[in-house]
Amino acid sequence: MKEGRSLRLLGPLGCGYRLNPGKWLLIGGGLGAAGFPGLAAGIDCDLVLLGALSQGKLLNIPGVRTVVITEDGSSGTKGLVTDLLGSILWDSYSGIALCGPVPMMKAVIEAIPVRARANVQISAEAMMGCGWGACEGCSVPKAGGGFLKCCSDGPVFPADSIDWERWEGIH
Ligand code: FES
């Protein structure tokens, strides 16, 4: 849009993170971390893990302990965000926020011990037509069958409410 033009916006819509008390771990891939500064301000954020293609794609989250990794090695170590998970003390976190590309989120969840997965909330991204739960354009495959609507059921979901195999298959 051109500078000076006006725009009608509607929001906030849907459901955000359930802010469990206790320490949080935030794991973001690329632009998936865009919501983390706002989330970190409302929780006891102990650590943020950020992965991106390169330094220019990393977001800065001020005021929190952050470890970064890039695929080209231009910032932090070279590799994927899953490479940072080996030393995490999963039982010390009551909340784990995860956001990024679907294959990245699926790989992270598979690397998390099963006992800790109930604490993981993911923030989904989808093209939205209506924002009201009517068009089903934002559907995310639901564990056990059917679909969740990103606009009204989400965009934040418990990780175990998603059918990750089906969701990865449509990306
Ligand atoms: S955007 Fe229409 S149902 Fe979600």
Name the residue of 13, 15, 127, 128 to mutate for ligand 1: max ligand atoms within 8 A of Cβ.
128
Cis peptide before 101 (omega within 30 of 0): no
CATH code for the domain defined by 23-123:
3.40.50.80
Per DSSP, the residues of 62-105 read TTS-EEEEETTSSSSEES-GGGGGGG--GGG-SEEEEES-HHHH
pLDDT in tens, 37-76: 999 999 999 999 999 999 888 888 888 999 999 999 998 8
Cα(150) to ligand 1 centroid in Å equals 7
Kindly indicate the confidence band of residue 170, based on its pLDDT and cuts at 50, 70 and 90: confident
For the chain, the domains span 23-123, 126-154+162-171
Pocket of ligand 1 (CB under 6 A): 128-131, 133-138, 149-151
* Spatial distance between the Cα atoms of 50 and 37, rounded to a whole number of angstroms: 12
Residue type, 23: K
State which ligand 1 atom lies nearest to the alpha carbon of 136: 3
The set of residues, in sequence order, having a beta carbon less than 8 Å from that of 60 and lying 6+ positions away, is none
The residues near 31 (Cβ < 8 Å, ≥ 6 apart) are: 57, 59
> Chain centroid to CA 171: how far?
16
Is a pLDDT exceeding 90 seen at residue 166?
yes
**Predicted confidence (pLDDT) per residue in 104-155, tens digit:** 999 999 999 999 999 999 999 888 889 989 999 999 999 999 999 999 999 9
Q: Find the 125 Cα to ligand 1 centroid distance in Å.
A: 12
pTM of the full structure: 0.91
Q: Give the span between the Cα atoms of 102 and 10, in whole angstroms.
A: 26
pLDDT value of position 13: 87
Q: In whole angstroms, give the CA distance from residue 138 to residue 149.
A: 6
Q: Are 97 and 26 within 8 A, CB to CB?
A: yes
Task: Please say if the pLDDT value at position 171 is more than 80.
Answer: no
